[in-house]
């Protein structure tokens, strides 16, 4: 990959809001990336989106827009994905980092070597139809950890709504000509007041876990950077108060593209895997037993199942989220 061209709106948020007013966008850093092997880049990148109204990611026409807080500052990344070419432009102080990291976001690091898709006829069929599925990685462990904590033990609608509210209120306005107002995750999660978490609809156990983790952000990032793969990442993350196997797995999937991570404890996942591979529901232990032949690539199998659209027929109404906020 080589660079071919180098080159805040009034604040509405409370207390620690007030992150940089918008200014006219500077010239972006631009690049063209040609994956060495076929990759479904759009699928790899869009897996990082937190609901349809995620303030950190949106799709406008043929362009995927993503905002992140990189180690060098906030960056806005715009991707136009073709069959064998990704055109990218990045704005902001973290633009160079975002461009350098682009191949990993697209899934270039993900090596399916050793994956046997023939062990089950359904997996073989989906893999034949989608041989280019890869797991992307953001390399931004803390913000991926925070987003996973938001999703603990609640419906997706609740988690995505709380994420949207907190990031919009306390995040930093995205640089560049985004198609709608977009925001990077907050720099100071631990300074967000308790009433704001409640107003956003996040339960106290989750907000306390985010705040405690944010107070140790630097040490978490250092420890993870020095770790060697999934088992060490798992040990580091689950040593944190309020972080269990599910949150650790979701973080490793998003931040590192871990091809073997399994989100044990997910409300739907074991049912989906069981139905796809056996035709009936199983529990977490049953799911792990079914996935064991693919150890090392268990998340890859899960991603293939979802790509194949194999879901158990719904047996009743959708779970209605509870809302304990004062009206």
pLDDT for residue 119:
95
pLDDT for residue 260:
97
DSSP type of residue 203: -
Q: What is the mean pLDDT of residues 308-314?
A: 86
pLDDT tens digits along 56-104: 999 999 999 999 999 999 999 999 999 899 999 999 999 999 999 999 9
pLDDT for residue 319:
52
pLDDT exceeds 90 at position 261 = yes
pLDDT exceeds 90 at position 12 = no
H or E element: which one contains 80? strand 73-81
Closest CA to 69 of 149, 161, 186, 189: 186
Domains in the chain, CATH or no CATH each: 2-114 (3.30.310)
181 CB-near residues (< 8 Å, 6+ apart): 9, 55, 168, 173, 174
pLDDT tens digits along 225-234: 998 888 999 9
Q: What is the mean pLDDT of residues 236-265?
A: 97
pLDDT tens digits along 167-207: 999 999 999 999 999 999 999 999 999 999 999 999 999 99
Q: How far apart are CA 119 and CA 137, in angstroms?
A: 27
**How does residue 250 score in pLDDT terms, banded at 50, 70 and 90?**
very high
Query: Long-range contacts for 53-58 (Cβ within 8 Å, ≥24 apart)?
Result: 53/160, 53/164, 54/160, 54/163, 54/164, 55/164, 55/167, 55/168, 55/171, 55/181, 55/182, 55/183, 56/167, 56/171, 56/182, 56/183, 56/184, 56/185, 57/182, 58/178, 58/179, 58/180, 58/182
pLDDT for residue 311:
87
**How does residue 11 score in pLDDT terms, banded at 50, 70 and 90?**
very low
pLDDT for residue 230:
84
pLDDT exceeds 80 at position 323 = no
Q: Percent of the chain, pLDDT > 70?
A: 88
Q: How far apart are CA 49 and CA 248, in angstroms?
A: 18
pLDDT for residue 23:
53
User: Phi and psi (nearest 5°) for 74?
Assistant: -70, 140
Q: How far apart are CA 58 and CA 183, in angstroms?
A: 11
Angle between helices 269-278 and 298-307 (to 10 degrees): 80
């Amino acid at each position: 990959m080589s660079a071919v061209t180098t080159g805040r709106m009034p604040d509405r948020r409370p207390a620690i809001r007030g992150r940089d007013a918008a200014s006219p966008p500077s010239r972006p850093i631009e690049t063209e990336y040609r994956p060495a092997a076929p990759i479904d880049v759009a699928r790899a990148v869009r897996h990082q989106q937190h609901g349809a109204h995620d303030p950190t990611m949106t799709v406008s026409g043929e362009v995927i827009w993503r905002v992140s807080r990189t180690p060098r500052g906030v960056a806005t990344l715009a991707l136009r994905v073709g069959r064998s070419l990704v055109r990218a432009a990045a704005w902001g102080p973290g633009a160079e980092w975002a461009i350098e990291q682009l191949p990993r976001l697209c899934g270039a690091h993900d090596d399916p070597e050793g994956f046997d898709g023939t062990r089950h006829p359904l997996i073989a069929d989906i893999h034949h139809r989608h041989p280019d599925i890869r797991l992307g990685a953001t390399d931004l462990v803390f913000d991926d950890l925070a987003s996973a904590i938001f999703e603990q033990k609640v419906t997706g609608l609740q988690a995505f709504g709380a994420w949207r509210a907190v990031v919009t209120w306390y995040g930093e306005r995205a640089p560049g000509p985004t198609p709608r107002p977009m925001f990077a995750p907050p720099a100071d999660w631990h300074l967000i007041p308790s009433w704001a978490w409640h107003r956003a609809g996040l339960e106290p156990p989750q907000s306390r876990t985010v705040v405690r983790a944010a107070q140790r952000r630097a040490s978490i990032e250092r420890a993870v950077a020095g770790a060697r793969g999934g088992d060490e990442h798992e040990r580091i993350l689950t040593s944190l108060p309020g972080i269990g196997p599910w949150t650790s797995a979701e973080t490793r999937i998003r931040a590192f593209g871990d091809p073997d991570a399994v989100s044990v404890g997910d409300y739907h996942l074991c049912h989906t895997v069981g139905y796809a591979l056996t035709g009936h529901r199983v529990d977490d232990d049953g799911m792990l037993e079914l996935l064991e032949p693919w150890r090392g690539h268990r998340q890859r199998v899960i991603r293939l199942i979802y790509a194949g659209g194999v879901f158990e027929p719904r047996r009743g109404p959708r779970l209605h989220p509870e809302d304990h906020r004062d009206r």
